[in-house]
Amino acid sequence: MGGKYSSLDPMQVEVPDIKNLLGRDPYLQPYEKEIRRRYACFKDILESINENGGGLDSFTKGYRYYGINVQPDNTIICREWAPGARQLYLTGDFNGWNRESHPYNKQEYGKWELILPPNQDGTCAIPHLSELKVVVETQNGSKEDRLSPYATYVVEPPKEEGTIYKHKFWNPLQTQRHIFRNRKVARPASLRIYECHVGIATQELNVGSYDNFTDNILPRIIKQGYNAIQLMAVMEHAYYASFGYQVTSFYAASSRYGNPEQLKRLVDRAHELGLVVMLDLVHSHASKNVMDGLNSFDGTDSCFFHAGPRGEHSLWDSRLFNYSEFEVLRFLLSNIRWYMEEYQFDGFRFDGVTSMLYHSRGIGQGFGGHYDDYFSLGVDTEGVVYLMLANYVIHHFNKDAVTIAEDVSGMPGTCRPVTEGCLGFDYRLAMAIPDKWIELLKHCSDEDWDIGNIIHTLTNRRWMEPNVAYCESHDQALVGDKTIAFWLMDKEMYTHMSTLSDPSPIIDRGIALHKLIRFLTHGLGGEAYLNFMGNEFGHPEWLDFPREGNNSSYHYARRQWNLVDDELLKYKYLNEWDAAMNHTEAKYGWLAHEPAYVSWKHQSDKVIVFERNGVVFVFNFHPSKSFPDYKIGLEGSGEYRIVLCSDEPRFGGHNRIDVSVPFFTSDEGYAGRRHSLQVYIPSRCAIALAKV
């Protein structure tokens, strides 16, 4: 677990709130020394940043020091970190592509600097949108073209010019820059996230734009009752089909959707509508691309990455960052600050956290839940400390910021504060939930579903460590897998989704179960809820980006909004249900409340009953049995009414329940609750009741 860290006795290190952590989970007490050691490593780096990096504010604004920065008098200062290089030069349109006329001057600690004074008329020596390259002279004397790691705008070349992305100097006139008019949005108590991808947010056979998303998709998201968006594939990636997970230019917002000012307009408009805006952040690895990526920037195997096998991810075919290197920390932490300041993002979903936490990168490593898995020599201290630093920085500069960890290992303390010696995330993705739903749909008829096992999967999370619950994300939508809608109805989705078509048991079952699966996950599975774009209405096809294997087709790299907008198609029912779930949650706030109390889980009846924040949820998953006067227990007393019912006609239901009928509790306790009442619960139906 070692690294360049403190030699202090960990037990002497003061962790502000470790007693709170150990008090909540006594099973962590044998690992107190290790928790204190991690915190000591974190404090070491923080102190080094303050002493050697100019303080946290300056250190995390490395983009103002490195890269190509225009000063108030139009002087341009170019700086790079390339410790393995013999010499650096700047070349481009501005100097007729002379590769030696503008050498950088070598500074201390592997830094290089070049100052370009203004033209005689006071304008910048490099015009806006000029193409630039950094020429790196390696130790063996070769001169290699590279893109600046801090490049803020890179574009795809014309097809006749190859595939290497081009750095275009972004310095528009002040009148052409977007000015933010709306404040960042405070973190809502209940987070309802719409996971989305700008490029596929169009039904046209092309790449969608920031402007299309701003004008046409944001209103849809608001209508559906979501209060947060999670933008995927924004950090520039040369290979579109990588879904944004092979990042080549970390500071460049992808130009395939538009320019930086258009992304700023998108974020600003989202804030105006009250949406929290999160970025899918990829700091777990980087593309292996050399000519337009970070790889071998200074001509060596290391620089930003570990040298040798430790610097390569064998499954992802990508490079792994060296989190113990001071300038790598500056690069990554400043990258976070860049998106917070320049684009006004409110939070981040961290991709590939498991890979960062363990030397195994999670490959072939099973996590059975024993704490030794999380506090052993297999844990990568440098990755742990980087995540602590990242969360500390984010919450230091925006107390309302949201951070989410994509981690399958379940490391204790992932979603507890750094001051407890933990990672500091606000949420982790409940990744076992979609796996469970897909497993059931793939291998088991719903009449054989194990109700107890489903409940266990939905409730199996650490106390006071919030989870984002979801039935399916982009992972389940990708080609090679199927969405829930496709698993349920693929045999007839192309023939029986019209409201004018003959009744279909397959479609009827599919719509009913699609609603129940989502509602059960929404109510029981976590402290936030996530949906991937299109799944709210049961998008009928998988997602597949244009690539060599599909003749570069955009047919599956889009969302067919026309399907949900067509009043004659049944997709509208699923869409209406999605909106109703979210708007009902917005009123009653179950996500913001402590986990639900499950009072009833009956295997043969296939009935589930639970309460959360005063709302009583009743589910009947039975394929054929309906239950009149089904007795349920509940804690509250008085008059209750149905506030949501999946059997309403507007949701594609059969109208078997009169939702206007009130319910009055009995003082007779039942199922471990103080009161009871009786409800009619038809087959494959869910209702939610709340006090009047």
Distance of CA 659 to the CA centre of its chain: 37
* 81 membership: H or E segment, kind and range: strand 76-81
- Active-site position among 80, 292, 346, 406: 406
- Side chain identity at 585, as an amino acid letter? E
- Side chain identity at 373, as an amino acid letter? D
Return the C-alpha torsion angle 575, 578, 584, 586, nearest 10. Answer: -110
**Between the CA of residue 93 and those of 11, 112, 126, 153, 167, what are the distances in Å?**
59, 21, 8, 16, 11
**264: helix, strand or coil:** helix
Contact, 475 vs 432, CB < 8 A?
no
- Active-site position among 346, 351, 380, 382: 351
What distance in Å separates the CA atoms of residue 311 and residue 293, rounded to the nearest whole number?
15
Residues 6+ apart with CB under 8 A from 108: none
> How many helices and strands in the chain, by DSSP H and E?
16, 29
Pair type for strands 166-168 and 154-155: antiparallel
- Written as six digits, the tokens of 293 are 């990526």
Length of the chain: 692
Nearest to 33 by CA among 4, 10, 57, 2: 10
Contact, 463 vs 28, CB < 8 A?
no
The answer to whether residue 446 is catalytic is: no
Burial degree of 158 (CB within 10 A; 0-12, 13-18, 19+): exposed
The answer to whether residue 647 is catalytic is: no
What distance in Å separates the CA atoms of residue 384 and residue 359, rounded to the nearest whole number?
11
- Written as six digits, the tokens of 95 are 């100097």
Contact, 112 vs 106, CB < 8 A?
yes
Give per-residue burial for 645-669: e unless 16+ CB within 10 Å, then b.
bbbbeebbbeeebeeeeebebeeee
- Written as six digits, the tokens of 612 are 């959360």
Nearest to 534 by CA among 517, 557, 507, 552: 557
Distance of CA 504 to the CA centre of its chain: 37
What distance in Å separates the CA atoms of residue 657 and residue 665, rounded to the nearest whole number?
18
Name the residues annotated as catalytic: 351, 406
